[in-house]
Amino acid sequence: MILLRSRRARTGLAGVAALVAAVTFASCSSTTDNGNGTSSAPVDLGKPMDAAAASKLAIEKAGPIQFATGSTTRGVNGKVITIGGIADVKDTTGIENFPGVCDGAKARFERANREGGVNGYTFSYAGCTDSGADPTKSKDAVTEMVEDKKVFGLVPFTATVSSVGDYLNDKHVPYFGWGISNDYCGWNNRQFGFSVTQAVSCPNVLPGQTFYSSAGLESYLTGSGKKAADVKAAFLGSSVAAGESSVRSFAKMAVGLGMKAPYAKTPIPGPGAPPLSDYTPIARDIIASGANLVASTTPPAQIFPLVAALRSSGYTGDVLIYFADPRLAPLADQLDKVYAMTPNFGSSVFPSPTFLQIGTDLKAIGSQADSGASGTLTSYGAADLFLKAFAKISGPVTTEALAKVLNSGFDYPALGNAMCGSTWPAGRALGNDCAAIVQFDGAKKAIVPIKDLQTFGHEYLFSAA
């Protein structure tokens, strides 16, 4: 029974890994490669920018938003605003990848109501529909929410396989969630979409150029105490276009920061391909490269056998992964001493008033969701961003007025140590330089804190060619 639960935990986190991989690698796709999967020639990363400088440059490059006109009051019933949600609650196999992805938003809106509302308005939550990682279901759910339930906006909107961005923007429907689908990718044509993760997989917002962040590697250096010059990094991913681009980008950043990158390959079969039965050849290839850091964005179902193969083959260096879902804690003995970066979100292993408040709000609606789960934080944070912007509306409440508040230049501060802040409208072109670092402790079967949510690294602007 324990084995079955462990397998389910690993499999059920595949979507989490997909999300954080996209978040981590919102970057350009070029690097210096000598043809055998290594990257070591000098790389000039260009001018490092903090969030303010990158935001200013992004707006200069893209131009100001041309505000949508109109007076859409759909979902405004007197002093009550109707909100709905659409999320991939379960994937096509029925596994729940993102617990709390609906409950977080509902909990935050209910808290706003308990506190008396915002500017005299309260919020009625019309429910959250499971889009099931199915584009047809996503489209049908959006149509029902907008045309039948007459919602003011969608909070959250986290359909990962979806193509309703044109519809939502044509109908002037504000939507908030994570930016893992193309529905969040654009500038004027996506001015009603606001991702709490900012731009994570949108390479063409600025024609010919892309921003990306050094947070992934700089957070590891800070958390481990290592010097860049002492790190020989191996980057590996899945054999799909996104994985190949990610690995190349990561290798380029590593070399630019002063590391060596003797291994940069994508030997892991992609979705739909037969899974590997033996990771030993990959492990031996990595060890032969001389790497002392292995960084992988592959899902948990692939991380576990990879780590096992590395250790059984004699690897003694560090391993860095990009997810630390609380459900992995019971399996920490299989990931002992592995570092985990949590891009965009904090971790509840760092106790704080913020996580306590989120937990209290969840309990108030009868939810069992974990306050530190990525689904909870995405949903709760999306609602918090909505409410903070809603409070700034002056004059009649319309969807256009809400979008204008955000697109006129809106800085959303970090949600305590639970979620990174964002800036608008530049967030459509930028990633986040914010993360937390934790480590798996096998003896304790726990995820232990290393560095709480903070800014790591800088933004860089590269040619997309």
- Write a three-state SS string for 248-300: HHHHHHHHHCCCEEEEEEEEECCCCCCCCCCCHHHHHHHHHCCCCEEEECCCH
Q: Is residue 184 part of a domain?
A: yes
121-148 burial code (b ≥16 CB/10 A, e <16): bbbebbebbbbbbbbebbbebbebbbee
What are the pLDDT digits (tens) for 3-41? 223 333 444 454 554 454 444 444 333 334 444 455 555
Q: 């995820």: which residue's tokens?
A: 447
What are the pLDDT digits (tens) for 146-202? 999 999 999 999 987 778 999 999 999 999 998 778 899 899 999 999 999 887 667
**219 and 191 together in one domain:** no
**216 and 338 together in one domain:** yes
Q: Is residue 143 part of a domain?
A: yes
Report the share of the chain in percent with pLDDT over 90.
67
132-141, 225-234, 279-288: least confident range: 132-141
Mean per-residue pLDDT of the chain:
88
**329 and 393 together in one domain:** no
**422 and 439 together in one domain:** no
**362 and 216 together in one domain:** no
Per-residue confidence band for 42, with pLDDT thresholds at 50, 70 and 90: low
Number of domains making up the chain: 2
144-153, 243-252, 314-323, 411-420: least confident range: 243-252
**252 and 353 together in one domain:** no
What are the pLDDT digits (tens) for 297-306? 787 788 999 9
Positive or negative torsion for Cα 198, 204, 210, 214: positive
Nearest to 250 by CA among 234, 270, 269, 227: 234
Q: Is residue 8 part of a domain?
A: no
Nearest to 112 by CA among 313, 438, 397, 391: 391
**338 and 359 together in one domain:** no
Q: Is residue 26 part of a domain?
A: no
pTM of the model: 0.88
What are the pLDDT digits (tens) for 339-368? 999 888 999 999 999 999 999 999 999 999
User: How many residues in the chain?
Assistant: 465
Report the share of the chain in percent with pLDDT over 70.
89
- H helices of 276-427, in order, are 280-288, 300-312, 353-364, 374-390, 399-407
pLDDT at position 38 is 57
**240 and 308 together in one domain:** yes
| Cα-trace Rg, the chain | 21
**192 and 310 together in one domain:** no
What are the pLDDT digits (tens) for 77-108? 999 999 999 998 877 677 777 889 999 999 99
**336 and 389 together in one domain:** no
**159 and 260 together in one domain:** no
**311 and 264 together in one domain:** yes
What CATH number does residue 111 fall under? 3.40.50.2300
Domain span at residue 276?
31-48+210-343+433-463
